[in-house]
Amino acid sequence: MDLSAINPVLLIASLMVAATPILLAAIGELVVEKAGVLNLGVEGMMIVGAISGFAITVESGSPWLGFLASAIGGALLSLLFVVLTQVALANQVASGLALTLFGLGLSSLMGQSYVGIKPPQMGKLDIPVLTDLPVIGPILFGHDPILYLGIALTAAVWALLKYTRVGLVLRAVGENHDAAHALGYKVVRIRIMAIMFGGACAGLGGAYISLIRVPQWTEGMTAGVGWIALALVVFASWKPWRALLGAYLFGGVTVVQLNLQAAGVAIPVEYLAMSPYLITIFVLVLLSRDKSGAPASLGRIFHATH
> Contact positions toward other proteins, by CB under 8 A?
40, 80, 83-84, 88-91, 93-95, 97-98, 101-106, 108-109, 112, 219, 223-224, 227-228, 230-231, 234, 268, 270-271, 273-274, 277-278, 280-281, 284-285, 288-289, 291, 303, 305-306
CB of 73 to other proteins, least distance (A): 15
CB of 239 to other proteins, least distance (A): 18
Nearest to other proteins of 88, 129 (CB atom): 88
Nearest to other proteins of 262, 281 (CB atom): 281
Could you give the 3-state DSSP secondary structure of residue 174? helix
d(CA 82, CA 37): 10
Nearest to other proteins of 60, 108 (CB atom): 108
CB of 289 to other proteins, least distance (A): 6
Half-sphere exposure of 32 (CA within 13 A, CB side): 34
Nearest to other proteins of 130, 274 (CB atom): 274
Q: If you ran DSSP here, which 8-state letter would residue 266 be given?
A: S
CB of 88 to other proteins, least distance (A): 4
d(CA 86, CA 95): 11
CB of 222 to other proteins, least distance (A): 11
d(CA 238, CA 294): 7
d(CA 119, CA 187): 41
d(CA 66, CA 119): 10
Closest CA to 32 of 74, 88, 66, 73: 74
Half-sphere exposure of 279 (CA within 13 A, CB side): 17
Nearest to other proteins of 147, 232 (CB atom): 232
